[in-house]
Structure 1
Amino acid sequence: MSTSKGRGESESSITCEGGSGSVIYTSVEYEGTVKVNGEVRDVSRKVYQRNDIDFEYFDETTGLTNLERMQAGKPPIGTDGNAIQLHHILQKEAGPMVEIREITHQEYYSQLHGLIEDGASFRNDPILNKQYNNFRRSYWKWRAEQIVGGK
């Protein structure tokens, strides 16, 4: 179970992944909670959202558009043909995140994950891992609501 509300206020925009001059990321504040083992936990955080996702893209594997995938709590398919990933910028749960292409996540893995020592990942904590998995499903549903609602 989760509840969420978000403010779609643009605090900043970032251009990267190709440097074409177009704005690829917009910063938003996600506010919400999830339940983990009966306990309500705050999962509010800053998320840098991609502005280049094709919400009408049809995924032949699932038979869903990107928007429908998101409404079901699944990530959209990115320009690399793979699911968009949510990356913990500071490697902490709950911490700021960025929507990132799988290919970028793989190519820069050591740089993106160099803030923590081996074995120190929040994913080794069953509570935090479950919290993140619940957040991720809720986040994509919320993101879809922002699109349908026009934010």
Structure 2
Amino acid sequence: MQFNGNKVYQRDDLFEPNLVSSWREGGKVVTGTNLERMASGRAPVGVDGKSVNLHHTTQTQSGPIAEMTQTFHQQSSSVIHVNPNTIPSGIDRAAFDKWKAQYWQQRAAGYGGTQ
């Protein structure tokens, strides 16, 4: 799917929409489902028990993005990160943080979640 300028490869098998977890929001602990996490702009908890990651497959701001478990992202780091650590990141992290929050909200809405 396309979202705000990026092709995104979605994987519905990486998380259970109705899994319940807790997170901090405005200094308070909130408990809710993955859909509710996503509606609040947070990544869902994946099948590995960690937040689902969004990975820039070509390591560029406008390039494709793939959903993946945090475990896969860490264990496959040397394979999936094409740029060596000797060059600066091609990702504007502040802009990507905003993009991610909007993306997860849209993703929740696609499951029939509330925004």
TM-score (norm: length of structure 1): 0.65
Measured in 1, the distance between the counterparts of 2:93 and 2:21 equals 27
Is residue 81 of structure 1 aligned with residue 49 of structure 2? yes
- Which runs of 5 or more residues in structure 1 are unaligned? 1-27, 33-43
Larger strand fraction of residues? 1
Q: How many residues align?
A: 105
Determine if contact 1:87/1:98 at 8 Å carries over to the other structure: yes
- Which runs of 5 or more residues in structure 2 are unaligned? 24-29
Determine if contact 1:122/1:129 at 8 Å carries over to the other structure: no
Q: Percent of aligned positions with the same letter in both sequences?
A: 32
Is residue 139 of structure 1 aligned with residue 109 of structure 2? no
C-alpha deviations, 1:61-83, integer Å up to 9, x for none?
Answer: 54121000000000000000000
Is residue 54 of structure 1 aligned with residue 13 of structure 2? no
Measured in 1, the distance between the counterparts of 2:68 and 2:50 equals 10
Q: CA deviation at 1:51?
A: 1.5
Q: CA deviation at 1:45?
A: 1.0
Max Rg structure: 1
Larger helix fraction of residues? 2
Measured in 2, the distance between the counterparts of 1:29 and 1:146 equals 13
TM-score (norm: length of structure 2): 0.84
Counting only pairs closer than 5 Å after superposition, residues 101-112 of structure 1 correspond to structure 2 as: 101-112=69-80
Counting only pairs closer than 5 Å after superposition, residues 10-29 of structure 1 correspond to structure 2 as: 28-29=1-2
The runs of at least 4 consecutive aligned structure 1 residues that moved more than 3 Å come to none
Measured in 2, the distance between the counterparts of 1:60 and 1:133 equals 20
Let me know the Cα RMSD of the aligned residues: 1.5
* Structure with bigger RCO (C-alpha 8 Å, 6+ apart): 2
